[in-house]
């Protein structure tokens, strides 16, 4: 091929390329590959995603195992945590005076003592397991001055097997008695007792006069402060009681799980899927 032929071939190829570019720019369009679909994965708000994760039996069992290890206890199974808890209640009115022999109600032995300028209640666990408990009481002369009494440190939610707790009732006044109007107990597993001991007493409806002396298990994580308004309303109306609240927190770590408005204490084994999560 001569130089003139090469130059002509090059010019012809360039002309064809220019024509092709002009055509595509003004007379046609280039097709691009279809955009791939977005990656599929969990959707929803952060709280919704956390709720779904916590509702997983696998995640729940992981909590049981890790919490039991932290507490130095044997880890229960999900089936163990889904069983009915033995419950006792006594709603008779009992008047307790210092020096009076103790009474036994709902698996507990109760007596009152005067200690200096205070009146205290001694509560002994007579059952064969750790026990969640609720002793509803009131001083016979009213509770107006009771918050001025120095509270003894005690566990307001659980008494260990064979153990006892001493709680401040009020400032002592001559002739004072302590009137007990309701006693509730629930036998719980060791890990359940550990869970309950971390719960703020107000979360299970215990009045501040008693709750202010509570000293439970201290952990690096604190309980969720969230209590839905519908749950507070249910407590105020009496639709949700101590048994329901204590039953829930005996089965669920309070740092992760929030009491569902629909939850009620299990009346038979496996009555409700555990963990219990609304929404």
Q: Which two tokens stand for residue 165?
A: 């707790």
**125-165 pLDDT, tens digit each:** 999 999 999 999 999 999 889 999 999 999 999 999 999 99
Predicted model pTM: 0.81
CA distance 53 to 41: 13
Q: What is the pLDDT of residue 278?
A: 80
Per-position pLDDT tens, the chain of length 279: 555 555 555 555 555 555 656 555 555 555 555 555 554 544 444 444 455 688 999 999 999 999 999 999 999 999 999 999 999 999 999 999 999 999 999 999 999 999 999 999 999 999 999 999 999 999 999 988 999 999 999 999 999 999 999 999 999 999 999 999 999 999 999 999 999 999 999 999 999 999 999 999 988 888 988 888 999 999 999 999 999 999 999 999 999 999 999 999 999 999 999 999 986
- State how far the alpha carbon of 199 is from the alpha carbons of 138, 214, 223, in Å: 23, 10, 6
**203-234 pLDDT, tens digit each:** 999 999 999 999 999 888 889 888 889 999 99
Give the single-character DSSP code of 245. H
Q: What is the pLDDT of residue 38?
A: 52
Beta bridge partners of 95: 179
Each domain of the chain, given as residue ranges in start order, spans: 46-249
Give the distance, in angstroms, between the CA of residue 268 and the centroid of all CA atoms in the same chain. 21
Q: Which two tokens stand for residue 276?
A: 């219990």
- State how far the alpha carbon of 236 is from the alpha carbons of 136, 197, 239, in Å: 16, 23, 8
Terminal-to-terminal C-alpha distance of the chain = 82
């Amino acid at each position: 091929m001569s130089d003139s032929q090469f130059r002509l071939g090059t010019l012809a190829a360039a002309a064809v390329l220019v024509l092709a570019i002009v055509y595509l720019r003004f007379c046609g369009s280039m097709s691009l590959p279809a955009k791939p679909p977005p990656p599929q994965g969990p959707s929803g708000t952060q709280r919704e995603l956390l709720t779904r994760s916590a509702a997983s039996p696998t995640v729940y069992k992981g909590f049981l195992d890790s919490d039991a290890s932290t507490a130095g206890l044997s880890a229960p199974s999900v089936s163990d945590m889904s069983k009915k808890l033995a419950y006792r209640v006594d709603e008779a009115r009992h008047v307790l005076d210092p020096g009076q022999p103790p009474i036994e109600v709902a698996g507990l032995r109760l007596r009152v003592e005067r200690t200096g300028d205070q009146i205290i209640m001694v509560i002994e666990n007579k059952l064969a397991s750790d026990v969640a408990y609720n002793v509803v009481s009131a001083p016979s002369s009213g509770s107006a001055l009771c918050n001025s009494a120095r509270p003894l440190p005690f566990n307001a939610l659980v008494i260990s097997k064979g153990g006892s707790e001493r709680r401040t009732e009020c400032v002592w006044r001559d002739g004072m008695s302590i009137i007990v109007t309701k006693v509730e107990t629930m036998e719980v597993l060791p890990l359940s007792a550990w869970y309950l001991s971390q719960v703020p007493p107000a979360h299970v409806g215990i009045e501040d006069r008693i709750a202010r002396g509570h000293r439970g298990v201290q952990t690096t994580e604190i309980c969720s402060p969230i209590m839905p308004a519908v749950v507070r309303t249910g407590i105020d109306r009496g639709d949700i009681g101590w048994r329901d609240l204590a039953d829930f927190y005996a089965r669920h770590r309070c740092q992760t799980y929030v009491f569902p408005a629909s939850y009620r204490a299990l009346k038979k084994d496996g009555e409700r899927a555990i963990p219990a999560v609304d929404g």
